[in-house]
Amino acid sequence: MVAEGFFSVDSLVGVHALVVDADQECRQLLSSILRYCGGLVTTTASAPEALKVMSVAKCDVLIAEVALPGESGVALIRRVRALKPEDGGVVRAIALSAGSADRDDALAAGFDAHLTKPIEPWAMCRLVSTLVFGERPAR
């Protein structure tokens, strides 16, 4: 794995990421970054949409905004963690938020990691790779 700088364009081949963010530009940006590294990406704007996707497709990583309108990202991860493992309950998950104040709540709710916006593209790709292919990062 690359420690710094650019990340390999094929480093996420075979990884299906589900990106959940109400902001369309953010969804498009995250999707472009993950696809650049070879990932398959599905995007949704809400927690209910994300759960629908998870009911029909296996995702390797869930990347969700904490402050989703309606059902929050924290509520979403709690619902996801309540699922059976074969239904996606053990999917790796990254919380996104505008500040680090949400970090502890997100991790306590069941997210594996937290990233603060604005996202550093290569850091996100390295984190996804670590969660999917390697060990969980230290909380």
CATH code of residue 24: 3.40.50.2300
14 φ, ψ (degrees, to nearest 5): 90, -5
61 inside domain: yes
132 inside domain: no
65 inside domain: yes
Query: d(Cα 26, Cα 18) in Å, to the nearest integer?
Result: 13
pTM of the model: 0.90
The pLDDT tens digits of the residues spanning 83-128 come to 999 999 999 999 999 888 889 999 999 999 999 999 999 899 999 9
Residues counted in the chain: 139
Say which amino acid occupies 75.
Answer: A
114 inside domain: yes
